[in-house]
Structure 1
Amino acid sequence: MKIGILQAGHSPDEMRDGVGDYGELFTKLLDGHGFEFKIFSVVDGEFPSGIDVADGWLITGSKFGAYEDHDWIPPLEDLIRDIRTADLPLVGVCFGHQIIAQALGGKVEKFSGGWSVGNTEYDFGTETLALNAWHQDQVTSLPTGAEVIASTDFCENAAFVIGEKILTIQPHPEFTSEFISGLIEHRGRGNVPDTQLDRASETLSSPNDNIKFAARMAETLKTGAK
């Protein structure tokens, strides 16, 4: 089964050789689930020739805002709508979560409450999962048909589904503690309050549920198996 990864951003230059780019983080996270991957760097204008080149799709995070004026965002939104119309599986993480919501009629804003960074517990109703957060933007209005499946006091719409084939989440199951440490050093200082970065650093050794949520992502993507 082929999964198309729509890479909407890049990991910091200082980290890329060691931990990989955003698309590669997901190929590592989903290794062992029987997928083949093709990465399209949409942030650089590299788009697939059509939605039929993959059986399922995944949109990565980005340092850019879904509401910002970039020439690659409108065609990405068109692609999202085409994927939904074709009833193909679609997973979005952080920026991916936000751009899917926006493309399908929801709203994304820079959250007035500030940032969420580091190991964070999310209420999934029947269970609590610890995942790494790194965001200020949030989905503040859901698209029609979306059902919230996870939240925190800080982030009300932390994950949602639309039917069985669309799954989105605000935190980063693909971010390891090592990756968060690199973000703190190379992207955090001067952008995120130092007090929050220091707290995030203190949680780097805390366990996370990346693998558990990866299984849920894989389950969604496999709804497109032929």
Structure 2
Amino acid sequence: QGLKYHVFMTLKGKLPTELHNDELYIITGSNNGAYQDIDWINKLKEWIRNAVTQKTKILGVCFGHQVIAEALGGKVIPYPGGFGIGIRTSKIITDDAKKYFTNGEINLLYLHHDQVVELPKDAICFLTDDFCKYGG
């Protein structure tokens, strides 16, 4: 069948109006910070909270990871150590995640400045490295 996908322009206020539990919603990168008080980010955070309440599957990558954390009570800041640029090896630290990454680590391409510094309540970190404590 192949992969079927839809793109929603959150910067323009476009978000899915109906959530489906058999679908995966992926939130990707942005040059804005998840902590910024910007209308589209605030609406996205509200959408995330609603999606989590409905047990909808969400995957956050880069900014997506950060905005999910912020929406659910975590904290994101501009990292005092500066930018992360390049390829970094991150360690898989939970048994569940090790089922998918059997060698216990993954190489990731980094280009970010902001980081999650406090996890939301009940969140479990499964990925870490020397630059980004809560990488996933």
TM-score scaled by structure 2? Answer: 0.86
Number of the residue aligned with 1:156: 133
Map 1:55-74 onto structure 2 (within 5 A).
55-74=23-42
Quick check: 1:106–1:141 contact (8 Å CA) kept in 2? yes
1:48/1:54 CA distance change after superposition, 3 Å: farther
Q: Distance in 2 between matches of 1:61 and 1:69?
A: 17
The alpha-carbon deviation at position 48 of structure 1 amounts to 2.0
| Deviation of 1:54 (Å) | 7.1
Q: CA deviation at 1:87?
A: 0.7
Do the aligned residues in 2 keep the contact of 1:51 with 1:79 (CA within 8 Å)? no
* Counterpart code for 1:91: L
Runs of 4+ residues deviating >6 angstroms: none
User: Which residue of structure 1 lines up, in the alignment, with residue 101 of structure 2?
Assistant: none
- The C-alpha deviation readout for 1:18-74, integer Å capped at 9, x for no partner, is xxxxxxxxxxxxxx9x43101001012222223249722110111110111211011
* Alpha-carbon RMSD: 1.8
Within-5 A mapping of 1:3-18: none
CA–CA distance in 2 between the matches of 1:144 and 1:91?
Answer: 18
Question: Residue 139 of structure 1 corresponds to which residue in structure 2?
Answer: 116
TM-score, normalised to structure 1, is 0.53
CA distance in structure 2 between the partners assigned to 1:37 and 1:75 by the alignment? 21
Contact 2:21 2:56 in 1 (8 A): no
Between the two proteins, what is the percent identity of the paired residues? 38
Look up the match of 1:90: 58
Task: Write out per-residue CA displacement over residues 173-211 of structure 1, whole angstroms, 9 at most, x where no aligned residue.
Answer: xxxxxxxxxxxxxxxxxxxxxxxxxxxxxxxxxxxxxxx
What secondary structure sits across from 2:125 in the alignment? strand
Would you say the 8 A contact 1:51–1:82 is kept in 2?
Answer: no
Find 1:100's aligned residue among 52, 68, 78: 68
Q: Deviations over 1:149-185 (max 9, x none)?
A: 11111110011xxxxxxxxxxxxxxxxxxxxxxxxxx
Mark the CA change 1:154 to 1:93 in structure 2 (over 3 Å): closer, same or farther: same
CA distance in 2, matches of 1:53, 1:45: 22
Aligned length, in residue pairs: 127
- Gaps (5+ residues) in structure 2? 99-103
Show structure 1 runs of 5+ residues with no match.
1-31, 160-226
Q: Which structure has more helix as a fraction of its residues? A: 1
Which residue type is aligned with residue 104 of structure 1? L
Q: What does the per-residue CA deviation read over 1:96-120, in whole Å, with 9 as the maximum and x for residues that have no partner? A: 0000000000000001011111111
Say which SS state the counterpart of residue 37 (structure 1) adopts. Answer: coil
